[in-house]
Amino acid sequence: MNKNINLQVPVGVRDVLPMETTAIRQLEQKLTDFFYSWGYQELMTPTFEFAETFKAGSPAGSDDVLFKFIDRQGRVLALRPEMTAPIARLVVTSLRREPLPLRLCYRANVFRYEEPHAGRQREFHQAGVELIGADGVAADVEIIALAVETLIKVGLKDFRLGLGQVAVTKGVLNDLELTPEDLAKIKEALAKKDLVLLERLSEEYKLTGIRRKQLELLSRLHGGAEALREAQECFSGTGAAKPLADLEQVWQALVAYGLEQWLFIDLGILRDFDYYTGVVFEGYVSGLGAPVCGGGRYNDLLAQFGYPCPATGFAVGLERLLLALKGSLSKKQDKGYLVAGSDVAAVLKKAQEIRQSESVVVFDNQSKTREEAAGQAEKRGLNLIWLE
């Protein structure tokens, strides 16, 4: 062995062993099949693109998050940190003449130079959908209903989906008239639901009156219809009234559809990307410290690629979802067979016959006796078929 070879992997990436790989692939397929049943079509984009693609309204396009490199022509490329911007570019370049709305779905690995933590490495897997060319309440309701039913479909029971309105949240933050650095601290406190830190920052930045009241409302307001009413009273006569009315219509439609038990209002939701413009949402599971899914409306993103077009969508984090499911998907595989014997041709033919029933069949080409084959089958957790 070459002693100069480093056998370690870089921080933030890891090897995925067979059992977890099986669980991830099963989950990907289950999600994709469910998206298909809603009329969404799968597509793929390159693992890396020109870095400018990912700078369209997204903090994930900043230099400290992107994995960047230079090609032989001196152009700056980057590994994809998410899928929405690449799909927006693809729609503009290849699907612009297709009738709207477009219903698109994907499964992909993405890369972000962030501090690794439970359920999120620097390379991780996502699946999601994008609804391109549809605006208004009906489209928002479709995406949120699909997100809820997706989590139900894969077997989650103890989860809730928080609904926010980024037009309200951004408006409150912009009205604070703080420096970008100070505003970043406020955003961090909101994102972490750290009310003590938010109170301290409010004192430090001398936030008073209606600005402080509205900021405090963002941090503490959680609930159903009553939370919406409180927000509407607080923002009456402001530019937030219309976005809140839109959110109320979405809420009422989802309640009428029968999803109220999985929903709550949370105006403090701050997504990772700046391109969101309207209703946003995140899915939470008890005992997991980060959202398993998230998304919302991003009506201005495609315009940055030269194609003004409304859009909305969401993504599911597969590693986080597996943590929430506790790996249960990988345990549902039926016990397969190990086929062995002295006649190689006969053994291969028997294995082929059994595979017709879509069972897992391992061809044992090493065992010389039934006892050896039985030992191999036991080690692998397979049923033995021995041909004399």
Q: What is the dihedral of CA 41, 46, 49, 55, to 10 degrees?
A: 30
Q: pLDDT-based confidence at 358, cuts 50/70/90?
A: confident
CA–CA gap between residue 62 and residue 64 (Å, rounded): 6
The DSSP line for 40-105 is: -EE----SEEEGGGGGSS-GGGSTTT--EEE-TTS-EEEE-S-SHHHHHHHHHHHSTTSPSPEEEE
> Which residue, among 150, 193, 163, 173, has the nearest Cα to 324 in the 3D structure?
150
Mean pLDDT rounded to a whole number for the chain:
90
Which 3 state secondary structure label does DSSP give 154? coil
pLDDT computed for residue 120 by the predictor: 81
Residue 280 φ then ψ, to 5°: -125, 165
pLDDT at 272 over 80: no
pLDDT surpassing 70 at residue 1: no
Residue range 332-351: mean pLDDT, rounded: 87
180: number of Cβ within 10 Å: 6
Whole-structure pTM value: 0.88
The mean pLDDT of 297-314, rounded to a whole number, is 95
Give the tens place of pLDDT for each residue, 196-228: 888 899 888 988 888 888 888 888 888 999 999
Higher pLDDT among residues 239 and 347, named by residue: 347
Pick the more confident residue, 162 or 118.
Answer: 162
Short-list 268, 253, 214, CA closest to 237: 214
Residue 102 main-chain phi, psi, to 5 deg: -95, 135
Q: Is 378's pLDDT higher than 80?
A: yes
pLDDT band at 329 (very low <50, low <70, confident <90, very high): low
Better pLDDT: 169 or 294: 294
Residue 78 has a pLDDT of 95
> pLDDT class for 6, splitting at 50, 70, 90?
confident
pLDDT digits (tens, 9 = 90+) for 31-61: 999 999 999 999 999 999 999 999 875 654 4
Lowest mean pLDDT among 194-198, 297-301, 327-331: 327-331
Q: In whole angstroms, what is the distance from residue 265 CA to residue 270 CA?
A: 13
pLDDT, position 357: 87
Side by side, the strands of the sheet bearing 337-341 are 361-363, 337-341, 383-387
Which among 7-16, 95-104, 172-181, 265-274 has the top mean pLDDT? 95-104
